[in-house]
Amino acid sequence: MAKYGEGDARWIVQERADGTNVHNWHWAERDCLEWSRSRLSSLLAGLSVLSGEGGLTLRTTTLDKLDGEAYINIRKGKVIPGYELSLTLAWEAEVTTESGVVKVSGAAEVPYLADENADEDPELRVTVRGEDGPVARRAKDAFLTKGKPLVLEKIREYVAAMAKGGPAKDELDSKKTPTKVPAVEAGGTAAAPAPATEKKVEAPAVKEKKVKAKDKEGFKTIEMTEKFYCRAKDMYEILMDENRWKGFTQSNARISREVGGQFSLFDGSISGVNEELQEGKLIVQKWRFGSWPDGVHSTVRLVFDEPESGVTVISLKQTDVPEEDRYGNSTVVENTERGWRELIFQRIRGVFGFGI
């Protein structure tokens, strides 16, 4: 299998100034390694395998390593995934014995996960870290019996996601959207074309809808509420500590804890400035992706509420999110919202155990 970026130059489109590959006529190749790292981590980290059954508590912790390559080729809407990966997943167990609770840790390794074997499960090797005594072997056997099928199921979800286009899926779906959707929104029905007189009546409805939406033209607002089983100050610390960010995202981060200080997340893909900080209560930031048009910043507002001890509710509101990036891709809002849910909040739950 050819490595990413080494395809025949006659078929690989050189990037246009506007980033467009019209109708995906030529081969368009997209690197998916970092997306694969995030996707597999969200799928595999923090899986609960056993919760005390037979005196065993067993769960996966983090995706320790992902090496190899992954990419998507697209031509005229046809998706051709390519990947050759090896990964190592950490797990831990607590075994109840007559002398007390014994902790055991280990690793589950997939030495070869490739598109050429997409229709079959990959090899999964389970090992114990440290002394391999009777208790450790008991934990290892439990992982092979209960954990292995669960891990392979999650890997199949990744394989299916790659087959559908991986990070390019939303872009492909948007290109398939029927052009008559706006007409449905205006009239509220997908019936046959209306007479000319009815079309004149529909026009004010469209204008009225735009007036009700308080977003600026070309921008949207993202709002969501997430619940975690922890203290508010714990969530605040995780979101404002660069070492914890590196831990649950498996990517580089630099975060200032001062108002007016700058931050950089996901290996520099996101950057911004702190505008208001109240420990355990509020984070307000100017926030942008590097792929957004120059000078465009959204405002992220995270409000922390602790309605009862050990329970934290985060209310997120992100305003002025552009509908398109600098290349004309129209999936910015969807990708940003999914990123908050899957790459930040769900992974915090998985890695720190705040609500699985």
Across the chain, how many H-helices and E-strands are there?
A: 10, 13
Structure tokens at 302: 């995270």
Phi, psi of 348 (to 5 degrees): -65, -45
Q: What is the pLDDT of residue 211?
A: 43
Superfamily the domain 23-172 falls into: Activator of Hsp90 ATPase Aha1, N-terminal domain (3.15.10.20)
Structure tokens at 350: 């998985």
Structure tokens at 88: 């190592």
pLDDT in tens, 237-258: 999 999 999 888 888 999 999 9
pLDDT in tens, 70-101: 988 876 667 788 899 999 999 999 998 888 89
Which of the 8 DSSP states describes residue 92?
A: E
Question: Count of alpha carbons within 13 Å of 21, Cβ hemisphere only?
Answer: 19
Indicate the fold that domain 219-352 takes in CATH: Alpha-D-Glucose-1,6-Bisphosphate; Chain A, domain 4 (3.30.530)
Asked if residue 263 lies in contact with residue 249, where contact means CB atoms within 8 angstroms, the answer is no
What is the pLDDT confidence band of residue 53, given thresholds at 50, 70 and 90?
Answer: confident
What is the pLDDT confidence band of residue 181, given thresholds at 50, 70 and 90?
Answer: very low
Q: Any idea where the domains of the chain sit in the sequence?
A: 23-172, 219-352
Q: Say if pTM beats, i.e. exceeds, 0.75.
A: no
Contacts of 175 (CB under 8 A, 6+ apart): 24, 77
DSSP 226-263: EEESS-HHHHHHHHH-HHHHHHHHSS--EE--STT-EE
What residues form DSSP beta bridges with 69? 84
